[in-house]
Amino acid sequence: MLNLKEKKVIVTGGAGFLGKFVIDELGKKGCKDIFVPLIEEYDLRKIDEIQRMYKAAKADVVIHLAAVVGGIGANRENPGKFFYDNLIMGIQLIEEARLNNIEKFIALGTICAYPKFTPVPFKEEDLWSGYPEETNAPYGLAKKMLLVQSQAYRQQYGFNCIFLLPVNLYGPGDNFNPSSSHVIPALIKKFYEAKKDNKDEVVVWGTGKATREFLYVEDCAEGIVLAAELFDKPDAVNLGAGFEISIHDLAYKIKYIMGFEGKIVFDSSEPDGQPRRCLDTSKAYKEFNFKAKTDFDKGLKNTIDWYIKDVENEN
């Protein structure tokens, strides 16, 4: 077991949505020496900036959360950027970690790395059985290469790098920017604005038939830190809640919680993305005793309440 209390930890993306919760979770474990390379100070796509970060941090452990990411629209508009930025950042961070004798590296992948038509629930063994869904493929493949690198480095150099595959996250503090947000924050914002402006309908991308699985951000942070402490194997591990909900049902659930009286229109001219997403989460439980705790309706309400309060405080 890795005793985080005694370790210096770098958390890339530590100022972001997931990062803040990971830092809280590290604090609960007694970890006091945490280094967060802020985007304004370190461009982690550049090798000299990464080298400068490792020199400044003098760390033992790296938790790599930083990513250039967005929903279907953002993926469709930025395939080259999402591929290059995520790949170059991850590859160089891992290589420099090896050269700096980092004791353990925790790399985060993405559910977008799975093949478009993966049998449900997604098992880690299915990761290489097909090509990812087209709109997410450049991002998903860039992240998947970090698994290849981590396994190769373990084999050749004995470098302890683990690879986790979180499902779609949601929760308080999520990204609500319509040009880059994922489905839950995008829908919450749409329903909030439609209600405020007395609109009689909300348009939702796709047919509504696609399914997604969602993991509350606080639960994900707990899973990452448990893996950092307890997991030291080359295999990829899913982090999820182990359920799926259609976009149709999700939209109606948010409409009901937010008290929107109008109708929902599904725009089938826009893409659905991957047809189904639901993870087999048994390996995380077996290997490091992780199981998601947060009830989805409760997590959704927490997220909506946080957003409304945040927007109304701004105004």
Task: Identify the H or E element spanning 176.
Answer: none
Taken in order 186, 187, 190, 192, the sign of the CA dihedral is negative
What is the rounded end-to-end Cα distance, in angstroms, of the chain? 48
Backbone Cα Rg of the chain: 19
Q: Is 252 a catalytic residue?
A: no
What span, in angstroms and rounded, lies between the C-alpha atoms of 213 and 296?
10
Q: Which of 54, 139, 153, 192 is catalytic?
A: 139
CA 74 to chain centre: 15
What span, in angstroms and rounded, lies between the C-alpha atoms of 285 and 25?
18
What Å distances lie between residue 58 and 32, 51, 233, 245, 268, CA to CA?
14, 11, 24, 43, 51
What Å distances lie between residue 201 and 195, 208, 260, 272, CA to CA?
9, 15, 9, 20
CB atoms closer than 10 angstroms to residue 286: 10
Give catalytic residues, as residue numbers. 139
